[in-house]
């Protein structure tokens, strides 16, 4: 029986090259970025259109900022940023 070329012979996880790993990481982290900015935009819209809900709008903006900080920490932990 022929082995599937996507599964490794030793039965463990498939090893990815650095380029493949980076491409997958970009796809995942891009979603965090959109999520953080989306939450912040929702908070801004609450502040602008629902004047009685300013505190709730600021809370949404703070939560969005926290998501973006987590995104930044994940990037720094995973990849060494070169200057």
Range of the domain at 71: 18-78
For residue 82, pLDDT beyond 60 = no
Query: Which is nearest to 74 in space by CA: 37, 26, 14?
Result: 26
- Tens of pLDDT along 22-66? 788 788 778 878 888 899 999 999 888 888 878 988 998 999 999
Q: For residue 32, what pLDDT is reported?
A: 79
pLDDT above 70: residue 6 = no
Q: Is 2 inside a domain boundary? A: no
Burial of 60 (0-12, 13-18, 19+ CB in 10 A): buried
Among the ranges given (3-7, 37-41, 68-72), the one the predictor scored with the smallest mean pLDDT: 3-7
* Number of domains making up the chain: 1
Residue 10 resides in a domain: no
């Amino acid at each position: 029986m022929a082995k599937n070329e996507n599964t490794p012979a030793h039965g463990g996880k498939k090893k990815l090259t650095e380029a493949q790993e980076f491409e997958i990481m970009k796809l995942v982290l891009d979603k965090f970025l959109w999520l953080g900015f989306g939450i912040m935009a929702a908070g801004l819209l609450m502040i602008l259109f629902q004047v009685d809900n300013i505190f709730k709008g600021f809370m949404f903006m703070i939560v969005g900022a926290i998501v973006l900080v987590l995104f930044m920490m994940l990037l720094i932990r995973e990849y060494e940023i070169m200057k």
